Chain A
């Protein structure tokens, strides 16, 4: 798998380098990806839980927004 690329713009010299991530950057990238996925899963779980509550009380999301103003 090709590693993702990173662009670095040196604002002092105006040199712009786009290159593959090095090992440590790629390790951090993979860690970040895991965190993103975890956050996404958490957000989706919240949405599902929210919808379950709405279904139980018989409200739509828009109706809930109306209630909450």
Chain B
């Protein structure tokens, strides 16, 4: 029996009997119907078809969701998330969560910066410099105020001493670090100098021979960078303002060296007479 060229539908032979025509047409129609359905399996709005591995048979691919894009998975078409569908919110960014896999990164908050965590991008608050108040010590009527056990978790120390005064006239004011009374200090404040190459046993504060009991509203700021270093000697700077017993207001700045490779963990503020019971010592850790 004859067949069509492309789809092999059965058709009557030239010698077939007319009486068999109805049956032959029905057979041909059924074949056409079957083939057509195989080639056009769509059932739903948006369906598309693609060639399957079976000859003359297409496979239906239902429409994807809004924003998806046509891609290829295992050699056949497939709807998958697209850049557009992945981005759902204003400010979203795209990145690959694994090879050929899109992922969404929602926008961070104001001031955050893009960084990397766990191998993928993320928004984070940037690390920034800051000062942390480590302690506040009220100055008591003693000769020495020591702030001990200073945290070593910072890059620098700033020690702010304010509103201090001596209880007696012509008091000398000195600083020691780590309770070290050895000749391990040098300093240069205003025109003063340690005056000894071997070092001296403390750091003289400005006005150290003039601070007195009329002194008031004084401020003294000591900055010590790299105070936790265990390999380098220490250095620091001082700025200060104070009133001396001549009634004048003075200001000064200076620097000091401390020949020690120990981390600085304590600070002593020493008056040759007693301190008056006023003022505070604030120790800040600076990052």
Q: Mark A residues whose CB is within 8 Å of B.
A: 4-14, 16, 18, 21, 25, 28-29, 31-33, 35-36, 39-40, 43
Binary flags per residue of B135-161, CB closer than 8 Å to A gives 1, else 0? 101001111111111110000000000
Is B209 in contact with A32, judged by CB distance below 8 angstroms?
A: no
List of B residues within 8 angstroms of A11 by Cβ: 134-135, 147-151, 283
Pick the residue among A9, A12, A32, A40 that contacts B270 (CB under 8 A): A32
List of B residues within 8 angstroms of A29 by Cβ: 143-144
**Closest 6 A/B residue pairs (Cβ):** A11-B135, A12-B149, A5-B142, A36-B172, A4-B143, A9-B137
Is A6 in contact with B209, judged by CB distance below 8 angstroms?
A: no
Chain B residues numbered 124-138 whose CB sits less than 8 Å from any CB in chain A = 134-135, 137
Is A7 in contact with B135, judged by CB distance below 8 angstroms?
A: no
List of A residues within 8 angstroms of B141 by Cβ: 5
List of A residues within 8 angstroms of B209 by Cβ: 36, 39-40, 43
List of A residues within 8 angstroms of B151 by Cβ: 11-12
Q: At the interface, yes or no: B170 with Cβ under 8 Å from chain A?
A: yes
Dominant SS among interface residues on chain A: mixed
Chain B residues numbered 157-183 whose CB sits less than 8 Å from any CB in chain A = 170, 172, 174, 181
Given the interface contacts A11-B134, A12-B151, A39-B209, does A32 sit within 8 Å of B146 by beta carbon?
Answer: no
Is B202 in contact with A9, judged by CB distance below 8 angstroms?
A: no
Q: Mark B residues whose CB is within 8 Å of A.
A: 134-135, 137, 140-151, 170, 172, 174, 181, 201-202, 208-209, 270, 272, 274, 281, 283
Is A7 in contact with B134, judged by CB distance below 8 angstroms?
A: no
State in angstroms the CA–CA spacing of A17 and B137 once bound together: 11
* 24 A–B contacts, CB within 8 A, in A order: A4-B144, A4-B274, A5-B142, A7-B137, A7-B142, A7-B145, A9-B145, A9-B146, A9-B148, A11-B147, A11-B150, A12-B148, A12-B150, A16-B137, A28-B181, A31-B201, A32-B202, A32-B270, A33-B272, A35-B201, A39-B209, A40-B170, A40-B209, A43-B209
Pick the residue among A5, A6, A40 that contacts B172 (CB under 8 A): A40
Is A32 in contact with B272, judged by CB distance below 8 angstroms?
A: yes
Pick the residue among A5, A8, A39 that contacts B143 (CB under 8 A): A5
Pick the residue among B146, B150, B174, B283 that contacts A7 (CB under 8 A): B146
Closest A residue by C-beta to B181 = A28
Shortest CB distance A6–B (Å): 4
> Told that A8-B148, A9-B137, A31-B181 touch, could you supply 13 new A-B pairs with CB distance under 8 A?
A5-B141, A7-B140, A8-B146, A11-B149, A13-B149, A21-B144, A28-B181, A29-B144, A32-B172, A32-B201, A32-B270, A33-B272, A36-B272
Shortest CB distance B188–A (Å): 16
List of A residues within 8 angstroms of B142 by Cβ: 4-7, 18
